[in-house]
Amino acid sequence: MMWILGEILIILGLIFMSFGVIGLFKFPSFYPRILIASKIDTVAMITILLGVALRHGFSFFTLRVLLILGLILIVNPIVTHIVARFAYLSGYKPKKSDKIEHVDHTHHK
């Protein structure tokens, strides 16, 4: 039973990833695309890795998969933020269609 549930989660993760790739082409510029890529990558990897963990049962391998899952949950949003922040600071400004308000960075303490 757990094996079947694991397979379903893996297939669901692949479907999420496929829709995410299609969704990337629907957005006009960098900032919405990086947001969608981060969300889809995180959600797809959660479902795929949980499926792998359920499929293999409780073992040392499952603990390693869950450790990798925890690292992805922590690192992926941070890396996406860093990439978007450096793109902004390097002069790549959002388009008006992105509807991102300007942030004033002159008031640092």
The whole-number pLDDT of residue 104 equals 60
Taking alpha carbons only, the member of 61, 62, 47 closest to residue 15 is 47
DSSP letters spanning 79-103: HHHHHHHHHHHTT-PPPGGG-PPP-
Residues 49-59 have pLDDT tens digits of: 999 999 988 88
The whole-number pLDDT of residue 107 equals 58
Residues sharing a CB contact under 8 Å with residue 106, sequence separation 6 or more, in sequence order: none
Number of neighbouring beta carbons within 10 Å of residue 35: 14
Say if pTM beats, i.e. exceeds, 0.85.
Answer: no
Q: Using 50, 70 and 90 to split pLDDT, how confident is the model at 97?
A: low
